[in-house]
Amino acid sequence: VEFNLPFAPDLQSYIELPAFMGLGLVSGVVAVFLMRSIFLADTVASGIQDHLTLPRWLRPAVAGVLLGLIATQFPVIIGVGYETTFAALSGNLILSQAILFCMIKVVAVSITMGGRMGGGVFSPSLMVGALLGLSYGIIATSFVPSMSGPVSLYALAGMAAVAAAVLGAPISTTLIVFEMTGDWQTGLAVLVTVSLATALSSRYVDRSFFLTQLERRNINVAIGPQGYLLELVRTDATMRPIDDEIQEDWDLVEKGHYVSAAGTLNTAMTVFARTRAVYLPVVKVGGETAPSQILGRLHEVDVLRAYNKALSDAAEEEHS
């Protein structure tokens, strides 16, 4: 166990469960904000790099400078943040510190990931969640202190909720927290928080940070092999090569009934469904100096045959 808690967080009363439901909703919002901030930072950094044609090595260098400037005022952002996370779980931070550190950590993680520096989202999600939970707990327990448990329990639940929403692993995260505490009442509070955070975040980010990250690269793993296998096969690998072009091929090209040689079978199936053509010319698109060239013909039956083989290979690999 990475965090050896100095005491066992205990749920004071089941009347507190609505407070943990509220923490779950807040954690879901913060998890979505954390993930979207990372994606936004990556998009902005990529746009600037492409627009200014900057070298790749300059991107992490600029991110490092920005992080260094922030770290001069807030050294808590350096490293994985386990010390700050443990301080939050122990309740050793005041409200203003917890809120400020949580906001600064989100900014720092976004710069790190957007700058393509080494790092991940697991430890930052733990730190952000613990700080969020502590902040929420300090505020929530101040209303009815006599019927409230320790703020460390809220920090623990917030840590689990944000991490579960970011990682897309609510069951595993809940079991880890139960293993840390060994208390089923604490596990119940964490389970309520994690469930609502995951349910809310999954409506705005597709299941987890990692699946959304892959989808931004046009890799749809979440929908199963039947949804992404055709994206892995290029049209020029399945086409039937031709020796001579015929006028009928160019007529189809002029109508827009063709596929690019660099395209995938998934795109080809979309064109087949739209045009209902028996075959599609596979075109190597030319530029200003070189004309376009027809490399071959892609028949729908060949696409289906390739799709069937890919599904068979995937099933064999899965059960081997």
**pLDDT at residue 12 in the model:** 65
The list of the chain residues with pLDDT below 70 reads 1-12, 221-227, 288
Domain 14-215 and domain 225-319 have a common topology: no
**pLDDT at residue 9 in the model:** 61
Residues 6 or more apart whose CB falls under 8 angstroms from that of 50 comprise: none
CATH topology of domain 14-215: Clc chloride channel (1.10.3080)
- Under 8 Å between Cβ of 174 and 167: no
CATH topology of domain 225-319: CBS domain Like (3.90.1280)
**pLDDT at residue 181 in the model:** 73
Domain boundaries, given as residue ranges, for the chain: 14-215, 225-319
**pLDDT at residue 228 in the model:** 73
Read off the pLDDT of residues 1-36 as tens digits, 9 standing for 90 and up: 455 665 556 666 778 889 999 999 999 999 999 999
- Residue 315's Cβ-count burial label (10 Å; 0-12, 13-18, 19+) is exposed
Residue 200 tokens read as 């809310």
Strands of the sheet containing 293-299, edge to edge, are: 240-241, 293-299, 279-284, 259-260
pTM of structure: 0.74
